[in-house]
Amino acid sequence: MLKGVPGILSPELLKVLCEMGHSDRLVIADGNFPAETMGRDAVVIRMDGHGIPEILDAILQVFPLDTYVEKPVNLMEVMPGDTVETPIWKTYEKITACHDERGADAIGQIERFAFYEEAKKVYAIIATGETALYANIMLQKGVVVDK
């Protein structure tokens, strides 16, 4: 056990987050995302019993977002013609705002198939049990600034 580290962050996940360097990316994937297929060249961590918001909040407590890119957080864009609602995105905005002064301005969107292509290049994918549609989120790591 460690003090000050959210309990949801397993030793395996903490190790992966520590291994990641500046500009490395990770995907926190919903339950429908093909994590094993997209993660053939990545570390895949299973967190099936958890939803993305609780994982995102815990990770952002220890994971700096990249300040050298405009949008270090990216969501999978809804496909044209798809009428799916994405209320979870507002939750992501609130969580991001708690951990990064840019808040919602740090969040962008990537077209679905481009998101898949980018996901094939990430360092790690966290496979969750999230049931919300279009809930996938990609984070780009920044640097820890000594204060």
Residues in Cβ contact with 94 at an 8 Å cutoff, skipping those fewer than 6 apart:
none
**Annotated catalytic residue 66:** yes
Which amino acid is it at 55? I
**Annotated catalytic residue 22:** yes
The CA-to-CA distance between both ends of the chain, in Å, stands at 26
Torsion of CA 26, 134, 36, 123, to 10 degrees: -10
* Cα–Cα distance list, 121 to 7, 41, 124 (Å): 28, 7, 9
Question: Of residues 24, 50, 99, 116, which has the active-site annotation?
Answer: 116
Please check whether residue 77 is in contact with residue 112, taking contact to mean a CB–CB distance below 8 angstroms. Answer: yes
Question: Of residues 66, 92, 100, 123, which has the active-site annotation?
Answer: 66
**Annotated catalytic residue 134:** no
Phi, psi (rounded to 5 degrees) for 125: -125, 130
Active site (catalytic) residues: 22, 66, 116
